[in-house]
A and B are shown apart, each in its own frame.
Chain A
Amino acid sequence: MPPSPCALCHTNRALILRPKDHSKLCRQCFLTTFETEIHHTITSTSLFTRGEKIAIGASGGKDSTVLASVLKTLNERYDYGVELVLLSIDEGIKGYRDDSLETVKRNAQQYGMELTILGYDELYGWTMDQVVEQVGKKGNCTYCGVFRRQALDRGAARLGVRHVVTGHNADDVAETVVLRGDLPRLSRTTSIVTSTPSILTTHTNIKRSKPLKYAYEKEIVLYAHHKQLDYFSTECIYSPEAFRGSARALIKNLERVRPSAILDVVRSGEDMAKLVPGSDEGCGGTCSSSVPVAEEEEGGCGNANANGRTAGGEMASIEQHLAQSEVAAEHNLEVEVTTSSVNGAQNGSVPFTSGKKGRKNKAQPVPLRKLPKQVMGQCKICGYLSSQEVCKACMLLDGLNKNRPRNTIELGYEGQKKDQSINGVASGIEKLAVNGV
């Protein structure tokens, strides 16, 4: 085949075939176009506010590395006036995060961003290794998954940051749409922003968003490649059995047949979500009308963005253990944050304030039929979104702490001042019991 010229500059040789529109671009035009589209996502949804401090959930993998690089570029190019910091979570599994955390440390230097690494031990009082020691290898992925779900929010609260961005891409969202049939969940899944009310009794809302939501995974990988970004790719976590026939495989096959399919799925997920104006009512009145709350997060460890860092051994077996649906479910949970504000594009920042009532979605159609809703409230102990009085993390911690061997009960870590959840768990549960709730 003779080399094709770039469709934009008509000068350089095209190296990239864009999945969304089949345009052929040269390296430089591709990088610029990719960045400009992320910029468009950010501005059209009023994602950022000048002066805002934003934590990038960083795993050292391709998505969060590309996110950090692009946000740094855009913040400088378009003068967003936001402060970007990196936030990484260490589950405390010996050897598991070593390479990826080294990558994040290099990224922090490369991008001149402040980096905070928070361990499960600091956030919860327990490393995963300690959890495994106590509960055994069976069932420990429940702990890992539940803890991970809240870790970024708790970490952000610890840093006094109100906004966490994650590297979820269009493939991630499409996978979730395919997996989630029910409409209320679709709303949460496809929304670019969600909010988690009142984390850790500080009554601050943590806003979560996904600036790469419309970016194809293929283009993220190509961006990292052509920009020679330093990212860590992990061992294969998909056992062939799990991958074959999984939603992820379906997405990739769709893409091969019709490359635009991924965004089509994302968009149809959004459209279906619009049919459910009440989809965010399930928050029990704690959330604003226009920003879906993060859904209560449930079992299973390792999402496709965060796992796969397997250094063999323990984590490998944990992850093999995962049914594909669990992978997917978890996936969704990390993607949760959903809002219909995308259609609104109000001036100023995206409204996410909790406690603000009153519907803004006047324009939305009346629901055709009432859908069953999960009632969301807040955990009485930590304030995290929960359909129960006490959230799953606090329940698990309570069980762990009750059985903690005496000599390891020292909880002298500095995070205690802000994060009362660990010591607070046991007493909180007792209080509830006394109240007869």
Chain B
Amino acid sequence: MAASKEDDTISITVEFSGGLEMLFSNERKLPLSIPAKDDTGARTNVAYLVNYLCENAMKDPKKELFVLDGTVRPGILVLINDADWELEGEEKYEVQEGDNILFVSTLHGG
């Protein structure tokens, strides 16, 4: 992946599946350009991304179906470049240019 055009943003792909896409206007794949640093100047991590998604990408008012008690709701798996986010430091993982971050719900009918 080429470096982003502007130094202060990073380009990533966010995907939703397992029914979660329904909270995001049925969008399964979302190319995103997000700030490289948060308000405090720290590098953007997954916690920031989750909050960013809630505020900018989620049209559905039922935020608690995605975020509960300040973190990704239990039952939603997060894969960072196909790896379980628990192997990557969970919310503290610092988002890199070109990352693919997948949120998949296990809570829907099967």
Contacts and interface: CB of A to CB of B under 8 A. Distances in A.
Interface of A: 1, 3-4, 13-17, 24, 27, 59, 61-66, 167, 169, 171, 217-218, 220-222, 225-226, 231, 233-238, 240, 243-244, 248-249, 252-253, 255-256, 304-309
B interface, how many residues as a size bin? 20 to 34
B84 interface: yes
Nearest to A302: B109
11 contacts: A1-B88, A1-B93, A15-B84, A220-B106, A225-B17, A225-B79, A236-B62, A237-B108, A237-B109, A304-B110, A306-B109
A306 B108 CA distance: 10
Given A59-B109, A234-B109, A308 B87 contact: no
A308 B20 CA distance: 12
The 9 lowest CB-CB distance pairs between A and B, nearest first, are A308-B109, A61-B110, A63-B110, A252-B74, A62-B110, A233-B19, A252-B75, A234-B109, A15-B83
Contacts of B87: 1, 3-4, 14-15, 17, 24
A87 B66 CA distance: 33
B74 A256 contact: yes
A169 B107 CA distance: 12
A218 B106 CA distance: 7
B82 interface: yes
A15 B62 contact: no
A249 B74 contact: yes
A66 B79 CA distance: 19
Contacts, number: 108
Contacts of A255: 74
Contacts of A63: 110
B65 interface: yes
Contact of B109 (A169, A222, A248, A305): A305
B84 A234 contact: no
A236 B62 CA distance: 11
A252 B74 CA distance: 5
B77 A233 contact: no
A61 B79 CA distance: 20
B57 interface: no
B87 to A, nearest CB: 5
B109 A217 contact: no
A309 B109 contact: yes
B104 interface: yes
Contacts of B108: 61-62, 233-237, 308
